[in-house]
Structure 1
């Protein structure tokens, strides 16, 4: 007779009634699929509020509150439309543009598909692209260059700064912590 280890051995020694009750507890899930959601059960029509409340992207989930918070970035970028272009950061607005573009695409890939988040990211892309264009056009007008040349020169400045940091990271940290 060989010794058995693990749950199968334990289950084999118990009566059938006890196996089912103990195993039911072990197989419990901590999530709920869309098919098990009470909002998806056929029955009398529910109000629009009840449908929103029980939705997989409703106010009970992070899929609702993350876009609400991200609207702050969109509104801050839109508030910068009133600022002169020489006071805007090209790298910051380029980052907003890239973030908006990348996450708009991912909002259609991830499950559950969140159109509210996609709309926020698309508007973040629009705001960032508008501000980036304003900065590039301003820089080009100051140097009488084309927009493409201005973008290349700004990128060269960033590359130069990054190269200095890579060459001597301690000096870069010191310059940030102890500015003169």
Structure 2
């Protein structure tokens, strides 16, 4: 299998792929899901923005469809946005749990935030 990959990597098709936006665009886009994964493990849920999380998840769902419909299919872009949509969904669940699912009501949190400012 490694030999077959190396043969392909030396071909003109591989060079065309690696020097195209079909490769570099999705590769640059991986910053979004990597940041979301990092935030899942290291950031407190109080810093999550609900509207931004929803916007990023919606954006990724739209571009997942685009990556699937474009010809030839862009699997790297699809995987990037599938990962981002999943991690943003998890962030959204954390946001909802923190703001609406805890023992302290959302009104008390807002009132405390206003009083301390």
User: What secondary structure does 2:17 align onto?
Assistant: coil
The match for 2:59 is 99
CA displacement 1:45-73 (0-9 Å, x = unmatched):
x812134x624971110110011111111
The match for 1:47 is 7
TM-score by length of 1: 0.50
TM-score by length of 2: 0.75
The match for 2:105 is 143
The match for 2:27 is 68
CA displacement 1:12-48 (0-9 Å, x = unmatched):
xxxxxxxxxxxxxxxxxxxxxxxxxxxxxxxxxx812
CA-based RMSD: 2.0
The 3 A distance-change label for structure 1 pair 63 and 133 is same
User: What secondary structure does 2:69 align onto?
Assistant: coil
Q: Output the CA distance in 2 between the equivalents of 1:118 and 1:93.
A: 19
Q: Output the CA distance in 1 between the equivalents of 2:73 and 2:34.
A: 24
Alignment size in residue pairs = 98
Higher helix share: 2
Q: Output the CA distance in 1 between the equivalents of 2:96 and 2:58.
A: 16
Give runs of aligned pairs for residues 85-164 of structure 1, distance below 5 A: 85-140=45-100, 141=102, 142-143=104-105
Q: Output the CA distance in 2 between the equivalents of 1:57 and 1:127.
A: 31
Which is greater in Rg?
1
Choose between structure 1 and 2 for higher RCO, CA contacts under 8 A separated by at least 6 residues: 2
4+ runs deviating over 6 angstroms: none
